[in-house]
Amino acid sequence: MMEIREKIREWYHINKRPLPWREISDPYQIWVSEIILQQTRVIQGMDYYHRFLERFPNLESLAIAKEAEVLKVWEGLGYYSRARNMQAAAKYILHERKGVFPETYKEMMKMKGVGPYTAAAVSSIAFHEPQAVVDGNVQRVISRLFGIEEVPGTYTSSSRIQAEAYSLLDQEDPGNHNQAVMELGALVCTPTSPDCSSCPLQQDCVAYLQNRIAELPLKNKPGKRRRRYFHYLVIQDREAIWIGRRTGKDIWEGLFEFPLIETTRPYSTKSLRATSEWLNLFGSTVQALQVTGPFRHILSHQEIIAKFYHLNEPPDFVLEGYKKIKLGRLDPYPLPKLILNYINRK
């Protein structure tokens, strides 16, 4: 194992990308980078990382910000609960821990939105605690390197991967070791067509030696996405438009959107005008001036089919829970990417 560890260390030393969070030891900044990089490509994440730290350079500034400001910086990155959880964790540290960032894996696990992956990454990188990180990249490298055949996502497979990750861990320099294995997974041992000819572990790798790279790690059948039909009502008079904040435990909680009618199947404009939601809002006289879409928007477990209905605001129109915003003043409001794309389309 010693030799494998050294090969990884040497490879990393020569090949690592010079990413901004590699040169820091501040746990707040490392935590920010780790949360942003979950579900996000490095190139896109880098931009958000800089923007986030520019606006919230320390824990206190994040804790005391308005939620809409935090979501605005996060706009377009998706998985918005990450941003809300970060702010909740910052408030917890500020109020319950006198602003002192937790220094151990165990203490970090008390922060909202921090699971074993983030706690292992931040504690090993910022405080050199010997915790092995297991993310998607590490899982792939380890499954191939050790020829792990258990079905992914099962208890047996997770504990086997975890055990191998710890057996491989460099106890002296766990932070760099963890980053090295993740980097190897990101740059060389990629999901399809890994570059085995430049891999330092070629002669140790079960998948390579047994010619089973395409087969490992074993794949889960993709789950079926839930399809939802969103009908957005773009209600405007000459200079303002109606928007409201999404509430409830659903996608895009806390973000703003146009008034919405949701259906479980496709609706024609005629059928939409006959729904109780439409009739309650507009009665039977108001017509959509223009209908745009459908647009398909894919999320991890959901598929949204969206249409946008442009309407002139009827006289004396009031919409409880929504507000009228001057056109051109939408900027401070965090919007889901689906709406941003619609507004910014050519």
Known catalytic residues are: 34
Does 5 sit near ligand SF4 (CB under 6 A)? Answer: no
Look-up of token digits 């003043």: 329
Q: Which of 37, 59, 119, 145 binds ligand SF4 (CB under 6 A)?
A: 145
Does 205 sit near ligand SF4 (CB under 6 A)? Answer: yes
Look-up of token digits 């070629």: 202
Minimum separation from the CB atom of position 306 to ligand SF4 (A):
40
Which one, 121 or 188, has the nearer CB to ligand SF4?
Answer: 188
Does 217 sit near ligand SF4 (CB under 6 A)? Answer: no
Q: Which of 5, 7, 72, 144 binds ligand SF4 (CB under 6 A)?
A: 144
Does 243 sit near ligand SF4 (CB under 6 A)? Answer: no
Does 121 sit near ligand SF4 (CB under 6 A)? Answer: no
- Residue 38 amino acid letter: Q
DSSP state of 204: G
Does 11 sit near ligand SF4 (CB under 6 A)? Answer: no
Apex 56 CA angle, 330 and 123, nearest 5:
135
Q: What is the dihedral of CA 23, 27, 30, 36, to 10 degrees?
A: -160
Does 186 sit near ligand SF4 (CB under 6 A)? Answer: no
Minimum separation from the CB atom of position 185 to ligand SF4 (A):
8
Cβ 38 vs Cβ 113: under 8 Å: no
- Residue 276 amino acid letter: S
Which one, 16 or 55, has the nearer CB to ligand SF4?
Answer: 16
Look-up of token digits 């729904």: 275
Q: What are phi and psi of 208, to 5 degrees?
A: -70, -50
Which one, 188 or 243, has the nearer CB to ligand SF4?
Answer: 188
Alpha carbons 54 and 44: distance in angstroms, whole number = 16
- Residue 248 amino acid letter: G
Q: Which residues bind ligand SF4 (CB under 6 A)?
A: 141, 144-145, 188-189, 194, 196, 199, 201-202, 205, 207-208, 213
